[in-house]
Structure 1
């Protein structure tokens, strides 16, 4: 009986002590929360905790890599079909215009000059589209070639024939001056001839034809009238004999 009373007394004492502890500790808990409420909180505008970069999942990364690979394969395929696809527009244009210029230079190896019926606005490719002056005919030959001449030329200054150019009088041709100048001067590597029985008549010149060293005067009909000296020869005469010179 005494033991039961002691037990009951102990239980009551324990419950009373527990109630007092809980009852007195509650204000301190509330006070702690109030103190936390007074602490300045970070500004939401400067909070960067949520600004972390998203992490792509492995399937998404794989999909991007596959898409990029497909794009490269497509570009390579287009480049194989059209090698100029990646070239700048101006580079493509220059390659397109280069071919016609090269073809013109290759085709224009003979120019026709007619002092009687020619026009320096013509292209000089045929007797019908002949240019008028020897100077223009020589300009049209960019890499040497033949200049076929005909008609009556009135020269006010000497005409120098550059290397790799062959002047041919294919029809009767006359050259004259009133300025007491030299007529045709053949540079080294150039040639002068007449064909088809045509004659080249030179009148009024100091030296009608100057043949420099390395130049060739081929056999032909060369008529000298009222000149100081017909031919000044430093180069060579090519043909059967000098009898062809009139």
Structure 2
């Protein structure tokens, strides 16, 4: 089984090293193609206004001067000798829960794999407090990664779907198990914009993650993580709200 690894935290990220160790419990045919630098919040963006450069670190480790989507595209078209059987994206430093998935480069890399018809899974490690930087612990992801992934290898994925996995911010032996749940939602209206002044006296703004209200609903990924479970959520690329098709169609039929 050939496995492609990517992420949005960059080629040197600790979470990517963790993911490679997890992947090697599943196969010895593992390839890494990731952004050269951090691309958190890049979403499903594609680099169109400047050239993308490809850097070879060794035969199976490459980086690109672009986004996670660019990394998957370059892997499939320029690096791998044949398409992979599985794409794993992560392990992200931080949660990708609820509607975070629309901003996430980690999840979007898996979206790109799903668009190519390849089984794709995004993995993220929740952490307990802000400002942890490179000290975010990946112990839960490392301990539970293989246990989450092996059952998914034998399950058929519907066309243009992927799986989003989040590991809770607790000790590995405190994890309650694995729960398959739907996507929850955050209240981003309560998010913050941090204002400051740079050394030259110019004002700047930084989007803050604190202050966002988490509103877990019954059986969502937010609730699963809060309860100490690994959250496994199937996602789809079709964003059509089918319930509105008839009503909108009637508006134009008059």
Query: TM-score per shorter chain, which class?
Result: under 0.3
| Higher share in helix | 1
TM-score (normalizing by structure 2): 0.25
- Bigger RCO of structures 1 and 2 (CA < 8 A, at least 6 apart): 2
TM-score (normalizing by structure 1): 0.26
